[in-house]
Each structure stands twice: as C-alpha cells, then as structure tokens.
Structure 1
Amino acid sequence: MTERSRHLSVHVDRPVAEVYAFASDPANLPLWAPGLGGPLVHEDGAWSVLTPHGRARLEMTPLNEHGVLDHVVTTPSGERVHVPLRVVADGAGSEVVFTLRRAPGTSEEEFEQDAERVNADLALLKQVVEAGAAGGAGGPAGA
C-alpha cells in the first residue's frame, strides 16, 4: 500500500502518436529515462536495467491505442513495482503523465528526490522528442 501519489507531467509539442511511438519502445529508454538506471539489456525476450542494487527487470504494457505506457519493475529483491505512465492529447501536442507513488518507509526527502529524477526524465523526453529524434508513426488512435 502506498502512502501518497503525485502526478508529474510535461507538455510535449508533438502529436500523441509520435510521443507514444518513441516512449513505448524500450530501446529508447536510455535516451530519455536515465533515472531508471543503466545499461539497458534485452536478453531472452526480456528487458532489464542495472541499478545500484543489482539488475531490475522491466515488463512493458503491450502496445495499445490508449496511450498507456505502464510498466512493472521487478527489483533485485523481487519486489514488483507498478509504474503508471500515460500519453494523452493536449491540444495539437501531448501531455505525458507519470504517477509517482510513495512507498511505505520512504522519507519525504527521498520522495522529493524521486520526484526530481522523474521530472528530469520527463524534461529529457520532451527535449528528445521535440528535437525530432522520435520520428515514426503508429500509437494511439485519434492522434
């Protein structure tokens, strides 16, 4: 059970389909989400990332037309953490919304540090996608 959630978001001046196509590809994570850890490895059909505590496994939500980018991180200790992430239309652009959950036992200072890391990752996503690194088509319908 979490003690508190905070929704962190960034406006990206690019269409939903473009943002979704880029952010939904796990291979692009190192380009915009260094806060997750690194390096990213794809082996035997599974994605994992090296964290300070060991290798964590990433399970991404299947591609969908709703802009859902949720993923589950299985920590080196075996804890499964659900990470809600969405791309939604915001005028001609997009809003990327990340729900940061405060786990029991996490101090206010640690929670604020987590929020700063997520905001930095979202800002980098905005920068990379708006610079044109995303390219491609597909993604949610109606974008």
Structure 2
Amino acid sequence: MNGQSRHLSVHIDRPVRQVYAFASDPANLPRWAPGLGSSVARRDGNWFVETPDGPVRVTFAPHNEYGVLDHEVVTPSGETVYVPLRAIADGDGCEVVFTLRRSPGMTDAEFERDVALVNGDLALLKEILEGAEPEA
C-alpha cells in the first residue's frame, strides 16, 4: 500500500526552544541522525550530508516559532524526499513527532526497517539532549 504514513514520536525532557535550536541546525544531523550520513558540510549556501551513495542536499524550513523542522532531502539520484518533523511544547518538555511516509513500491519489510531507523534516531536525539547540557 502506498501513501501510508506513520507518526513516530519521543518525549524529551528539555524546553521546546532548546530542542528546536539543536534539531534545526543541519550541522547537528550526523550526531542524532547518523543513518542519514556521517558528516555534513555547507557549500554554496546549501547543506550536504555525506552518504555511501554520495552527497545529499538537506534544506530545512526557515526558522519559525512553531517548531516546524520539516526538511527536504535531495538524493544523489535527484529524488526529493519531504520529511515532516515537529517539536511541540509539552509542559516543561517537548514532544518530537516525525511523520514517516511510505515510498511507492516500498515493501512492508522496508517500511518497518525505516520505522526502526527513525525510532533509533529519535531515541538518540533524546539521549543527546537529556544528557550533558546540549549545544544550541
């Protein structure tokens, strides 16, 4: 089935502004989303993450007061993947919600693999931000 979405979330015991500041900085992507790539660089005003398949361009939504962390990932083949991501205030903490979209032709096993990868990234984001005082 194509067009399926799954909302994956994690509660982080940090203020939403702090979570947003960290997660919205593309330079931090390799720290909390290592599955995307191992390093990041800014070239010609764009952010690129190095992957085994080559550099992918990552473009975040403009900074905003609503916690919108949506971003586009353009793969080396030119495919554009839109990633809905939100940081939502939850009392003194924050809930981060990632909407995983199922790609056309993706098998159940591939989709579940992506679910596990995103859940791992969200757990790592929580661990980093709740650990030592995070850099914003």
TM-score of the aligned structures, taking structure 1 as reference length: 0.89
How many angstroms apart in 1 are the aligned matches of 2:49 and 2:24?
A: 16
How many angstroms apart in 2 are the aligned matches of 1:26 and 1:67?
A: 15
In the TM superposition, structure 1's runs of 4+ consecutive aligned residues that sit over 6 Å from their partners are none
Q: Could you say which residue in structure 2 is the equivalent of 1:140?
A: none
Q: Could you say which residue in structure 2 is the equivalent of 1:134?
A: 134
How many pairs align? 135
Q: Could you say which residue in structure 1 is the equivalent of 2:23?
A: 23
Structure 1 residue 135: Cα displacement:
4.2
| 2:83 matches 1:83 | yes
Q: Which has the higher contact order (CA 8 A, sep 6+)?
A: 1
How many angstroms apart in 1 are the aligned matches of 2:78 and 2:133?
A: 34
How many angstroms apart in 2 are the aligned matches of 1:112 and 1:30?
A: 22
Q: What one-letter code is carried by the residue in structure 2 that aligns with 1:30? A: P
Asked if structure 2 preserves the Cα contact closer than 8 Å seen for 1:21 and 1:134, the reply is: no
SS of alignment partner, residue 69 of structure 1: coil
How many angstroms apart in 1 are the aligned matches of 2:53 and 2:39?
A: 13
Q: Deviations over 1:50-103 (max 9, x none)?
A: 223222111111110000000000111111111000000112100000000000
Q: Could you say which residue in structure 2 is the equivalent of 1:71?
A: 71
Segment of structure 1 superposing worse, 2-11 or 119-128: 2-11
Q: How does 1:42-53 map to 2 (within 5 A)?
A: 42-53=42-53
Structure 1: stretches of 5+ with no match in the other structure: 137-143
How many angstroms apart in 1 are the aligned matches of 2:53 and 2:21?
A: 30
Identical amino acids, percent of aligned pairs: 61
Q: What one-letter code is carried by the residue in structure 2 that aligns with 1:49? A: V
Q: Deviations over 1:78-137 (max 9, x none)?
A: 11111000000112100000000000111110101111110000000000001134244x
Asked if structure 2 preserves the Cα contact closer than 8 Å seen for 1:58 and 1:73, the reply is: yes
